[in-house]
Amino acid sequence: MRQITIRFLCCLILCLAGYTSYIFLNPASVFGADTESPVDTAPKVDHILLEVSNLDASIAFYRDFLGLRLKSRSHDFVVFESDNVGIFLWSARWDWEKPRSNGERQGLGMYPHFSVNDAATVVERAREAGYRIVQEPRKYEWGTEAFIADPDGYTWAFVSPPK
């Protein structure tokens, strides 16, 4: 069981780090060929829910800057559509969460990746719009990667194929 957990965690870390070629479509490749998978098929990501402090500022980032489609909005909840996964924003707190302390930063620990045609162009547009550039574009064998923070400090990676 420990070996299964280590394999799964390694795959999860690689996926979150943007190494999408490590996403396994067959759960047996993660859990081991001799081990039953806990699900019949690998689950798909339905949406990512982000807690935000200011819905209007976040809408400016996700709709106006990134171009995601605004599907719905209520008092404290917004639903965006991307081509393959939803991005939901919420300005409230879960009842099971402890209150956030003053100055505690949001947006730590998860780095979702957007696939774009040219990461360097996205960074220049973000700079002109006043968004914080976390990491300037870096070129790798597999392409270019850059990181930009939204108004709440959630860091998004933008990757483009090699030129």
Q: Which tokens sit at 148?
A: 């930009």
Backbone angle region of 92, left / alpha / beta, with phi > 0 → left and psi within -120 to 50 → alpha: beta
For 21, the domain range is: 1-43
Residue 89 · residue 48 · CB < 8 Å: no
109 pLDDT above the threshold of 90: no
pLDDT tens digit string along 33-50?
444 545 567 767 778 889
Where is average pLDDT lowest: 3-12, 37-46, 75-84, 91-100?
3-12
Nearest of 129, 116, 120 to residue 82 by alpha carbon = 116
Are 37 and 50 in a shared domain?
Answer: no
pLDDT tens digit string along 117-162?
999 999 999 999 999 999 999 999 989 999 999 999 889 999 999 9
Are 153 and 87 in a shared domain?
Answer: yes
pTM for this entry: 0.63
Number of separate domains in the chain: 2
Are 77 and 37 in a shared domain?
Answer: no
